[in-house]
Structure 1
Amino acid sequence: MTASTADHTQTTLPPLSTGPHRRRIGVISLIACFGGLLFGYDTGVANGAERPMQLELGLSDLSLGVVISSLVFAAAFGALFAGKISDAIGRRKTIIILSIMFFLGTVLVVTSPGFELLVAGRIMLGLAVGGASTVVPVYLAELAPFEIRGSITGRNELAIVSGQLAAFVMNAIIGNIWGHIDGVWRIMFALCAVPAVCLFIGMLRMPESPRWYVEKGRNDKALEVLKTVRTEERAIAEIADIERIAAEENREKSHGGLRAILSNKWLIRIVLIGMGVAMAQQLTGINSIMYYGQRILIDAGFAENAALIANIAPGIVAVIGGIIALRNMDRLDRRTTFAIGLSLTTFFHLCIGIASILLPEGMAARPWILLVLIVAFVFSMQTFLNVAVWVWLAEIFPLHIRGLGIGISVFFGRTVNGILALYVPTLIENMGITGTFFLFAGVGVIALIFVITQVPETRGRTLEALEEDVTTGAIHVHHSKKR
């Protein structure tokens, strides 16, 4: 099937309509996004819990960096292996397993008497975080109609920042009321158990991905699921399209997984681009704010308790930005949002660095001006970059390597994130805000050039049409013509 044929196929599908099937998609996305909520809370809770935890356990800055970054490094491996596992046993079963890991990891962290068990708990949480970041977007993308795939898949990123905001708010409340109590950080972490239970119970009643069923030759089950989230006419037309592309792919490939990628130069290229997009997202330094926001604000000039409260502001604008991003996700091209996002984040990196030079320490306005600039950076990131990145990663890979492709991409992104999480406390200590944000700005320029020259567009096309063009390399021809 040629690219033009693929485009024609998606335009001749029966139109999307309202009804119980649309509400069913909403319920499925709500339940699955508890995985994103857990992702956000487990990564955000350290921002506020890390200082009392460091004091109680007597951790050095490097040991603290190990505790914080252990989750992130584990998330890299969780993303890599969960993607492959979800290709083998299904998206739904994998998410259920991840919910159990979220719960057990929380128990280990809350009951840990010292450094070793604490790191073990953070590693288990990290494996679950990485797995959720890979499997949940794919699950949503494979269930959503292509017309609203961006907004449905993007809900997971909104859930992530909502989880981070919830962590910041609860940390501020718990820290200011019970901050004098030993072990207050354990209370902060314990709240992670609630959404883990909700995810486990909810996913027991959710369907499997119809596209995964087709990949496994269970076409009747796939149609059965599609009829619950589409009109019957649309479900029948769509399953025929999915089956046709799957059959063509099965004829062309004699193996799957990594061997399938290495046997096709276009698949190698798209995986490399996916890795680049995931790393570019992390190299903006967004998670340095989300992990160490209180520490950065203290360095800017806030008192400790004031920094804990001020730290809520980036969380609030992250949620607002995520809502705006969802509204625009099916209206603006993915590449356009990437370019706008990287341009704005790089600009605010420069502004923060310059402001920290020009505003002397001790100046009353200094912490507030820096807070405004940090908030503007987070808002730009969430509105124009974070949601689009996760949606694009969930769309771009062909079905037979989708879990592995996004897993490899997220693995490299999370590895970069882990390196930043490990060294940001030391970086801030030695370079201050000025050097840290100038460094992020330099990397942002490189990332912007990469996105403009290499990243193909995915909006407004079915997964099957994208799959054909990615496999044959036609998607890069379309991309070069648009430039």
Structure 2
Amino acid sequence: MSTPSAGSAAGPRTTAAGPGAGPSTPPAKKKSIDAVVAVATLGALAFGFDTGVISGAIPFLQLPASQGGLALDSTLVGVVTSSLVLGAAIGGLLSGRLSDSYGRKRTLLVIAVLFVIGALGTALAPNAGVMVVFRVVLGLAVGGASAVVPVFIGELAPTHLRGRLVARNELFIVIGQLCAYSSNAVLASAMPDNHHTWRFMLVLCTLPAIGLFLGTFYLTESPRWLIDRGRPDEARTVLWQLRSDAGPAQIDTEIEEIANHSRKMAATGDGDITGYLRSPWVRRLAFIGIGLAFLSQMTGVNSVMYYAPSILIDTGMGAQAAIISTVGNGVVSVLAVAIGSMVLLPRFNRRTLLLTGQIGVTLALTLMGLSFTVLPESGVRSYLVLAFMMLFLVFMQCFVAVIFWLLLAEIFPLRVRGKLMGAAVFANWIANFLVALVFPPLQAVLHGSTFFVFAAINLGTIFFYWRFIPETRGKSLEQLEEEFQSRS
């Protein structure tokens, strides 16, 4: 039996018996891992666009029906905004189970279809009730993308690239939000008196969704998921396609490492999450992941992302100026994530970055609250609040958000990774839902003092991160899993 040399066009060997045995297969066409990750992150782009676009649509949705709006009061604004978030909580939970059972690629295809249906439904909604229904559908897709995309990328990536590639998930989320804020500003300026400006804003959400749908046909399946399902031949083909600098021997070594680990971990449980949770080390990881996911939203970040124009209007800024100013938040978020993922992440430990960001977030929230409560209504107060809002986003997006999604993609055991990721994302979106639902009425009563409430919560979060968050830098997913188990 002949074995192709490293880099040979003959492609990887496949075998029904396991790694390293069997005849050669026909050549597999190489694929760029950067291109595959770019397609997957269209799900993150759609996630960001759909969560960001509502901020600019709200002032138009609050107009009476005679002026093209849906006559939303502050309570209905909270319901419409949070309905997507509630759907995302359910979508995260369901997609985790689907991705474990049917694969990451198939689940992303379903998510893409839901994105398109939800975007069209919200753009065409005749009343608030229909809007809420399709916002929930859209939320199912957003939650699904938030659960599946980082796990999928983490399982595709080689260890030395995992941090940088998974961080692209957060980068594309904030790029999507920037695109939403920018298109909102353009439409609000170009059509300030058009009765259906908000419909044009929402229909643009279909663009990244269609891109994701078409792109899924280019994607590979996760090699780790394939091996865990007893399909090493297909996993080898995927790794051959994605590892541009690896020959058959290196690919066989990676396959063998993953397969051996999968067999070893199979003794922990049969893939049923209840069985796995009987193990103290798995329960600890579930606790850490769910706590991290929940607390990352209790920073109040989405009070800024969803309601920034409303916050700025509350300072005395005009509605159109507030919508345009929100573009600055989007630009800051993109730059912060780019710096965090490309400059800081390769150089510093995950824990150090997370704790730094959390301390900065708490400080920025306190300064926002002080600006509201100490200064009289004026242009100075408006722009000072905007400045501290941007400072908040620097710490949140450059440090906390980059590390949050990366850690969730790293810490859970392979055999129940999708399910536990789904549970963590469920907790994340439930916290998001609570913030989105209560912020408008809370702001109506407390105004800027609302940010003191978030600052107090975040003081407790600093202790949780310091006490429980593990360091994961520089280790393969298999090494991390075995290390977590050995500590129990």
TM-score of the superposed pair, with normalisation by structure 2: 0.91
Q: Hey, what does 2:483 align to over in structure 1?
A: 469
Deviation at 1:364, TM superposition (A): 3.0
Q: Determine if contact 1:297/1:311 at 8 Å carries over to the other structure.
A: no
Give the counterpart of 2:454 among 440, 449, 462: 440
Give the counterpart of 1:271 among 286, 293, 303: 286
The within-5 A match list for 1:101-250 is: 101-230=114-243, 231-232=246-247, 233-250=249-266
2:35 is equivalent to residue 27 of structure 1 = yes
Give the counterpart of 1:48 among 46, 52, 56: 56
Q: Note closer, same or farther for the CA distance 1:414–1:366 as it changes in structure 2 (3 Å cut).
A: same
The within-5 A match list for 1:450-461 is: 450-461=464-475
C-alpha distance in structure 1 between counterparts of 2:304 and 2:370, whole Å: 18
Q: Which runs of 5+ in 1 are unaligned?
A: 1-19, 475-483
Question: Which residue identity lines up with residue 446 of structure 1 in the other structure?
Answer: G
Deviation at 1:396, TM superposition (A): 0.5
Deviation at 1:466, TM superposition (A): 0.9
C-alpha distance in structure 1 between counterparts of 2:416 and 2:105, whole Å: 17
Question: Which residue identity lines up with residue 289 of structure 2 in the other structure?
Answer: G
C-alpha distance in structure 2 between counterparts of 1:182 and 1:108, whole Å: 18
Give the counterpart of 1:295 among 310, 326, 343: 310
Deviation at 1:23, TM superposition (A): 7.1
Give the counterpart of 2:44 among 30, 36, 56: 36
Q: Determine if contact 2:89/2:427 at 8 Å carries over to the other structure.
A: yes
Question: Which residue identity lines up with residue 280 of structure 1 in the other structure?
Answer: L
Q: Note closer, same or farther for the CA distance 1:151–1:21 as it changes in structure 2 (3 Å cut).
A: farther
Question: Which residue identity lines up with residue 99 of structure 2 in the other structure?
Answer: S
Q: Determine if contact 1:53/1:183 at 8 Å carries over to the other structure.
A: no
Q: Which runs of 5+ in 2 are unaligned?
A: 1-27, 64-68
Q: Hey, what does 2:337 align to over in structure 1?
A: 322
Q: Hey, what does 1:431 align to over in structure 2?
A: 446
User: What secondary structure is seen at the aligned counterpart in 1 of 2:62?
Assistant: helix
Deviation at 1:341, TM superposition (A): 0.5
C-alpha distance in structure 2 between counterparts of 1:60 and 1:213, whole Å: 50
C-alpha distance in structure 2 between counterparts of 1:93 and 1:222, whole Å: 16
C-alpha distance in structure 2 between counterparts of 1:354 and 1:53, whole Å: 30
The within-5 A match list for 1:51-66 is: 51-55=59-63, 56-66=69-79
Q: Determine if contact 2:31/2:241 at 8 Å carries over to the other structure.
A: no
The within-5 A match list for 1:391-430 is: 391-430=406-445
Q: Determine if contact 1:330/1:460 at 8 Å carries over to the other structure.
A: no
Deviates more, 1:351-360 or 1:422-431: 351-360
C-alpha distance in structure 2 between counterparts of 1:261 and 1:80, whole Å: 17
User: What secondary structure is seen at the aligned counterpart in 1 of 2:379?
Assistant: coil
Deviation at 1:352, TM superposition (A): 1.2
Question: Which residue identity lines up with residue 179 of structure 1 in the other structure?
Answer: P
Deviation at 1:260, TM superposition (A): 2.7
C-alpha distance in structure 2 between counterparts of 1:21 and 1:415, whole Å: 42
2:316 is equivalent to residue 308 of structure 1 = no
Deviation at 1:330, TM superposition (A): 2.7
Deviation at 1:60, TM superposition (A): 2.0
Deviation at 1:244, TM superposition (A): 0.5
Q: Hey, what does 1:13 align to over in structure 2?
A: none
The within-5 A match list for 1:245-264 is: 245-253=261-269, 255-264=270-279
2:374 is equivalent to residue 337 of structure 1 = no
Deviation at 1:471, TM superposition (A): 3.0
Question: Which residue identity lines up with residue 207 of structure 1 in the other structure?
Answer: T
Cα shift readout 1:140-174 (whole Å, capped 9, x = no counterpart): 00000111101101101100000000000000000
The within-5 A match list for 1:314-393 is: 314-327=329-342, 328-361=344-377, 363-393=378-408
Q: Hey, what does 1:87 align to over in structure 2?
A: 100
Deviation at 1:21, TM superposition (A): 10
Q: Determine if contact 2:340/2:402 at 8 Å carries over to the other structure.
A: yes
Deviates more, 1:274-283 or 1:259-268: 259-268
Percent identity of paired positions between Structure 1 and Structure 2? 38
Q: Determine if contact 1:314/1:379 at 8 Å carries over to the other structure.
A: no
Question: Which residue identity lines up with residue 37 of structure 1 in the other structure?
Answer: L
Cα shift readout 1:210-264 (whole Å, capped 9, x = no counterpart): 00001100011111101112212332211110000001112332x2232133221
Deviation at 1:459, TM superposition (A): 1.1
C-alpha distance in structure 1 between counterparts of 2:53 and 2:471, whole Å: 35
Deviates more, 1:261-270 or 1:196-205: 261-270
Larger Rg: 2
2:88 is equivalent to residue 75 of structure 1 = yes
Residues matched between the structures, number: 452
Cα shift readout 1:27-76 (whole Å, capped 9, x = no counterpart): 01111100000000000000110111121111221112111100001101
Deviation at 1:344, TM superposition (A): 0.3
CA RMSD of aligned residues (A): 1.4
C-alpha distance in structure 2 between counterparts of 1:120 and 1:171, whole Å: 22
C-alpha distance in structure 1 between counterparts of 2:308 and 2:192, whole Å: 18
TM-score of the superposed pair, with normalisation by structure 1: 0.92
Q: Note closer, same or farther for the CA distance 1:335–1:21 as it changes in structure 2 (3 Å cut).
A: farther
Question: Which residue identity lines up with residue 81 of structure 1 in the other structure?
Answer: L
Deviation at 1:462, TM superposition (A): 0.2
Cα shift readout 1:392-449 (whole Å, capped 9, x = no counterpart): 000100100100111111111110110110111111110011x211111111110000
C-alpha distance in structure 1 between counterparts of 2:287 and 2:30, whole Å: 35
User: What secondary structure is seen at the aligned counterpart in 2 of 1:179?
Assistant: coil
Question: Which residue identity lines up with residue 454 of structure 2 in the other structure?
Answer: F
Q: Hey, what does 1:4 align to over in structure 2?
A: none
Q: Determine if contact 2:30/2:240 at 8 Å carries over to the other structure.
A: no
C-alpha distance in structure 2 between counterparts of 1:237 and 1:21, whole Å: 21
Question: Which residue identity lines up with residue 219 of structure 1 in the other structure?
Answer: P
Q: Hey, what does 1:14 align to over in structure 2?
A: none
C-alpha distance in structure 1 between counterparts of 2:347 and 2:103, whole Å: 31
